[in-house]
Structure 1
Amino acid sequence: MDRRCWMGVVLALAGSAAMADASFPNKPIKLLVPFAAGGTTDIIARVISEPLSKELGQPVIVENRGGGGGVIGALETSRQKADGYNLGIATVSTMATNPAINPKNPYDPLTAFTPIVNIAATPNVIAVNPKFAGAANYKAFEAELKKNPGKYSYGSSGTGGIQHMLMELYKSLTGIEMTHVPYRGAGPALNDAVANQIPMILDNLPSALPFIKDKRLVAIAVAAPQRLSVLPDVPTFKEVGLEPVNRMAFYGLIGPKGMPKEVVDKINAATRKALQDPAIRKRIEDTGSVIVGNTPEQFAKETKDELTIYKEVVAKQKLTLE
C-alpha cells in the first residue's frame, strides 16, 4: 500500500470515529451498580438514570452486579468496550479501600477506568447503642474508649469497605484500640448495633439516620464538611480535631479506560445539567447526600487522593484481608 492510500485509510478511520462520537448515543446505555439493589449506591444510580436518559435521548438501564465488596461489578465495567454504552458507578470501596487493602485486586483503579463525573457524596457517621457507656457526646465516647483499650468492638459492612477503613483511620489518629467485627453488608451490622450485640458502627448516613431519629442509635460524630441540618447537635470530625476523618463516600460515573473525550464530555455535561434540576437534587439530598457534579479531571484527582489515604491507613494499621 503506497503512502497516499495509507493516509487515506487513516483519515477514513479518523472520520468514522469522529462521526461515531458525534452520533453518541444512538442506542441504550447500561449503568452497572457494583452492589445489590436497595443501598445508597443503587439509589443514586436510579435517581440519576432517569434525567440522564432524558438529556442523552436514550434509555439508561441500571443493572446490579454485587459481590466482592463491589470488586466484581467494577471489574466487569473495566472489561467492557470503551464506547460510552457501558458505564459503572464508582464508590470509595471499589476505587480506594478495597484496592488499598487487597494486593491481588484484579484492576488498578487509576488506570482501568475513565473517570466521568462525581455525582454525589454521602456523609458517614459513628453511631452507638444508647446503652454504651460513652453515648452522651463525643468527649464521653472518646474518654470511654481510651479508658478501656481493646474492650469494645465496632461493626462494619465487611473487611476492606469504607466503614472498616474509615474507622481504622480514626483509630490510627487517636491511638484508640477497638476490635473490628466484619459483617456481610452494612444492614446486618446496623441491626446488631441497634440490638446491642455490638456497641457501635461507622455507617453511611442514609441507612443509619432512621435509627438515629428513632433514638435507637446515638450519633457521635459525622464525616461531613459542616454540621448537618438533620443532625445539628452532632459535631464533625474536624470540630473534634480529626479533620482527616472528614471523608465522605462518593458515587461517580466511570467507564472502561480509553473512552473518547467527546463521549466523556457529553455524558459529563448531561449529568451536570440533570443535577441542576431541583427535583433531582432533592431526591439525592433526601438520602443524606451532597451534590457534587464536577469535571472528569477533578473526579480523577479525588479518586487518587482517596486511594493514597487508604494505602497509608493499611500500612500504618498493618491491615490485611485475613
Structure 2
Amino acid sequence: MSRPLHRRAVLALGSAALVAGAWPLQALAQSGGNALRILVGFPPGGGTDAIARVLAEKLEGLLGQPVVVDNRAGAGGQIAAQALKAAAPDGRTVFLTHDHSISILPLVTKKPGFDPATDFVAVAGFATFVNALALSGGTPAQSLPEYVQWVRTQGGGKGNVGVPAPASMPEFLVGVVGQKFGLDLRAVPYRGSAPMMADMLGNQVSAGVGSIPDFIENHKAGKIRVVAVMGRSRQAAVPDAPTFAELGLKGFEEVPYYGLFAPAGTPQAAIDRFGAALAKVVALPEVRERLTTMGLAVGYMTQQQLAARERAYTQAMAKIIKASGFTPQ
C-alpha cells in the first residue's frame, strides 16, 4: 500500500486507532480499564495493520472500551500466532490475520509452535482478498508477458521477486510463474509488505507478489503496476489486471480470507458478542467503502462460516504446496 497515504490514515486515527472499543467483552474483564488486544502479525504501515486500525476506530465508537493494536511482526505472522496461543482465554485477546498465519504456516513449518485446530477458535471473518503480481516503477514492462520478455533479455532469464514472508503462497506463486515461462525467478522474502513495498518503490527489486491491499494505493498513484491477480475473476479495484488463469496459470482460483481468531477455551459468550459487534462495524457504509478501496471483498462471516472457509482453503493450498515439491522446514 502507499506508505504516504496509509501513514496519513494511521495518523488521522491517532490515539483512537491505537485504542478502540471492546464493550462486548466487558463482562469478562476484571475491571473497566482492561482493553481488548488485537494481535497483528505484521509491522505498522502494511495492509493488515491498516485494516486492523480501521476496524479498531469503529469498534471504539460503537462499543466504548479501549482496544490495543499489538503488532508482533516477524516470521509471516508466526510470532503473533504463538502470542495468541500463550494468551489467556479470557476474551480480551484476538488475532486479526489472513490466510498465511492460519492456513499456510502449519503446512510449511515442521514446528510452527501452534496448531490452529487445537490452539485457536474462529471468532468471525470480514473479507476475502486476492494476491497479485506487481511490477516496480523502474521496471519498463507494462504486463506480465512483457515482464517475462524483459527478464529474458535484461536478466538472462533470472530475476528477483519480493514476497512479504518466506514459505508463503506468494513465494509458491513466484515458483509457478518461473516454471510456466521458463525463468529462474528467485523469491526474496521480507518481514511483511511494508519493507517489500519500500524496496519496490526504490527499485531495489523489480517485482513483488502480495495482496491487493498491499499494492492498491501505489498502483493508483502509478508508482507500481499490478499486472496479474489470483481468483476466478478480475478484481474491481484493478479491473485491467487479468487473472493468472487468463494468462495460462491454473490453480490459483481459491481466494484467501481475513478473520479474527481467539485462544482455544475463550468463552463462547465473548466470541458471540464480539462477532455481533464486528458484524455491525463491517455493515457500516464508510467501513465497507474504506476496506473496498483497500482491495478487499467485504463480507461478514460467522464463526462457523470462517472456520469452514479456513478448512477449505487450507485443503486447497495443501495440494499446491505438495505439488510444488516444497519440504516443510
Q: TM-score range by the shorter chain?
A: 0.7 to 0.9
* Mapped pair 1:137 → 2:143: yes
SS at match of 2:196: helix
1:98 paired residue among 105, 109, 120: 105
Q: Structure 2 counterpart of 1:127, which letter?
A: A
Distance 1:276 1:188 in 2: 32
The alignment partner of 2:262 has SS state of strand
Match of 2:85 in 1: 78
Equivalent-residue separation in structure 2 for 1:160 and 1:112 (angstroms):
22
Show the counterpart of 1:159. 166
Q: Does 1:29 align with 2:36?
A: yes
User: 1:141 touches 1:220 (CA, 8 Å); kept in 2?
Assistant: no
Distance 1:117 1:225, change over 3 A: farther
* Residue aligned with 1:303, SS: helix
Supply the distance in 2 between the matched residues of 1:149 and 1:256 (Cα, whole angstroms). Answer: 49
Larger radius of gyration: 1
Residue in 2 aligned with 1:114? 121
**Superposition map of 1:219-238 within 5 A:** 219-224=226-231, 226-238=233-245
Query: 1:256 — aligned with what?
Result: 263
Equivalent of 1:266 in 269, 273, 291: 273
Equivalent pair of 2:74/2:191 in contact (CA under 8 Å): no
Distance 1:146-1:271 versus aligned 2 partners, 3 A rule: same
TM-score when scaled to structure 2?
A: 0.78
2:189 corresponds to which of 168, 177, 182: 182
- Tell me: CA distance 1:276–1:150, structure 2 relative to 1, closer, same or farther (3 Å): same
- 1:192 to 1:55, Cα distance in 2 relative to 1, 3 A: closer
Q: Is 2:325 aligned against 1:314?
A: no
Task: Give the 3-state SS of the residue equivalent to 1:292 in structure 2.
Answer: strand
SS in structure 2 opposite 1:152? strand
- 146-155 or 248-257, larger mean C-alpha shift: 146-155
User: What SS does structure 2 have at the residue aligned with 1:198?
Assistant: coil
Contact in 1 for aligned 2:73/2:191 (Cα 8 Å): no
Query: Do residues 286 (structure 1) and 286 (structure 2) align?
Result: no
Distance between the aligned counterparts of 2:179 and 2:265, measured in 1? 37
Q: For this pair of structures, how many residues does the alignment match?
A: 302
- 1:113–1:256 contact (8 Å) kept in structure 2: yes
- TM score, norm. by length of structure 1: 0.79
Alpha-carbon distance between aligned partners in 1 of 2:27 and 2:293, rounded to the nearest angstrom: 35
Aligned mates of 1:191, 1:51 — CA distance in 2 = 29
Q: CA 1:310/1:125 → structure 2, altered by over 3 Å: closer, same or farther?
A: same
Return closer, same or farther for 1:256/1:171 CA change in 2, 3 Å cut-off.
farther
Distance 1:51 1:198, change over 3 A: closer
How far apart, CA to CA, are the structure 2 residues paired with 1:23 and 1:42? 27
Q: CA deviation at 1:184?
A: 3.6
Pair 116,146 (structure 1): closer, same or farther in 2 beyond 3 Å: farther
Q: What are structure 1's unaligned runs of at least 5 residues?
A: 1-19
Q: SS in structure 2 opposite 1:228? A: coil
* Contact kept in structure 2, 1:125 and 1:223, CA below 8 Å: yes
